[in-house]
Chains A and B, each alone.
Chain A
Amino acid sequence: GQNIDQPTEMTATEGAIVQINCTYQTSGFNGLFWYQQHAGEAPTFLSYNVLDGLEEKGRFSSFLSRSKGYSYLLLKELQMKDSASYLCAVRSDSNYQLIWGAGTKLIIKP
């Protein structure tokens, strides 16, 4: 079957660093996406990885290891506005559809 696992909830402190993990088992692999979703709002695109390694975009970085079926999203210098759910999605190469994880709710405390 196809499966994506993320922690349900994480808590971190303002100004700190947090790493949100995502592991996947899918029918083939054709890219991994991270989205941010504030409560009641639309998901917004954060990052895309298809090759192994780290992609950096300002305070956010995303890492991929295809051999391990593993990715993480690293958020640095946390701000209160980073409180949101973070969704991991993998594109399979069987039908090119995105398979979505349930999301990780990140709570930032002062």
Chain B
Amino acid sequence: DAMVIQNPRYQVTQFGKPVTLSCSQTLNHNVMYWYQQKSSQAPKLLFHYYDKDFNNEADTPDNFQSRRPNTSFCFLDIRSPGLGDAAMYLCATSTAGLDTQYFGPGTRLTVL
């Protein structure tokens, strides 16, 4: 009965090689979020979608992009990963901003 699924759980990429992380949900929630979490730090919001409406955070680097082809799926694209992009990437969903977020297990990205 998984609700927010992230694939893969572990991803290794090379410096500068584009990588895509995937998130899917079975909750039919309107909002999907992507967070970056580095070791011993809090999750940092990168961007979110409300339905098809994309909302970028002001300090999210251009290197990070996202796509939401339908309600269930959302992708995080890192165009040219740097060593500083190694982190846990968390996907979350909610029905709206004033409702609980549900998190996936995360994808741990390693950049070599």
A interacts with B: no
Interface residues of B, Cβ cutoff 8 Å to A = none
